Amino acid sequence: MRAQIDRRTLRTDRWWLPPLVTAVGLLLISIYAAARTFMGEYYWVDEYHYLTPMYSPCLSQECLPAAAHFGRPLPELPGFLTPPVVILPFLLGFRVTCYYYRKAYYRAAWLSPPACAVAEPHAKYTGETRFPLIAQNLHRYFFYAASILLLINVYDAFYALGTGLGLGNIVLLVNVGLLGAYTLSCHSCRHIAGGRLKHFSKHPIRYRMWTFVSKLNARHMQLAWASLIFVCLTDLYVALVASGTIADPRIIN
């Protein structure tokens, strides 16, 4: 039931600012991610074993052999496709179906509604009960896939420590820390940890896990943005070192 008022909203604050910032932020990050995905180079620093998380795991024949930590089981990709297109559907699926991002882009992109107590332009509301939005319910499965990719990123970060310690290693480690915190703070993860239990007292370990995940979950929006921005910065850093634009400051050789 909508309020029967002739104005779109009675709010007098700058309610349009958060959706605008969200829309601009998501657009810029999407452009950067698309550009890097289709660049197809500068994803591996041979000297220090830095692999950008955007190309990990690198599984097709185009991958540089040293960057393919799990082999190259996939054939050469056709046309303009590059190795990240293999993992992108899972990473994108995880973020796009995330409860926080849903709220963010429903407001920022579809204005549905743009903010609390501001009428939306759409006449009808069907929620997430029909195709394609019913696919949002696949989030839990994307969580599983993203968790595997996260473990691979952790492996990459520690693998790179085999060559010493440089700023790039710290960047890779902070990146997996943020990605890990974001993934663990997921609502599906919280449900897996402590959902469907009638008595927490009978499941002390799951209760502890649920308590821990719940604390992270309270920061899910912040972790969503921090991990998304930092994964781009990590990729940019690896690309700059791989292309020879900057040198990686070394702490231990």
Residues that bind ligand FES (CB under 6 A): 98-100, 139, 143, 186-188, 220
State which residue, 45 or 223, has the beta carbon closest to ligand FES.
Answer: 223
The answer to whether the beta carbons of residues 69 and 57 sit under 8 Å apart is yes
Q: What is the dihedral of CA 232, 233, 238, 242, to 10 degrees?
A: 90
| Pairwise CA distance, residues 2 & 4, whole Å | 6
Question: Taking the complex as a whole, how short is the minimal distance between the CB of residue 94 and ligand FES, in angstroms?
Answer: 6
- Give the single-character DSSP code of 74: B
State which residue, 144 or 158, has the beta carbon closest to ligand FES.
Answer: 144
Among residues 12, 103, 173, the alpha carbon closest in space to that of 112 is found at 103
Angle separating helix axes 139-160 and 187-194, nearest 10 degrees: 100
Instruction: Please count the CA atoms within 13 angstroms of the CA of 184 that sit on its side-chain side.
Output: 15
State which residue, 53 or 168, has the beta carbon closest to ligand FES.
Answer: 53
Question: Taking the complex as a whole, how short is the minimal distance between the CB of residue 48 and ligand FES, in angstroms?
Answer: 31
State which residue, 99 or 155, has the beta carbon closest to ligand FES.
Answer: 99
Question: Taking the complex as a whole, how short is the minimal distance between the CB of residue 56 and ligand FES, in angstroms?
Answer: 19
Name 53's Cβ contacts closer than 8 Å, sequence gap at least 6.
153, 156, 172, 175, 176, 179, 231, 234, 235
Question: Taking the complex as a whole, how short is the minimal distance between the CB of residue 92 and ligand FES, in angstroms?
Answer: 12
Question: Taking the complex as a whole, how short is the minimal distance between the CB of residue 137 and ligand FES, in angstroms?
Answer: 12
State which residue, 15 or 212, has the beta carbon closest to ligand FES.
Answer: 212
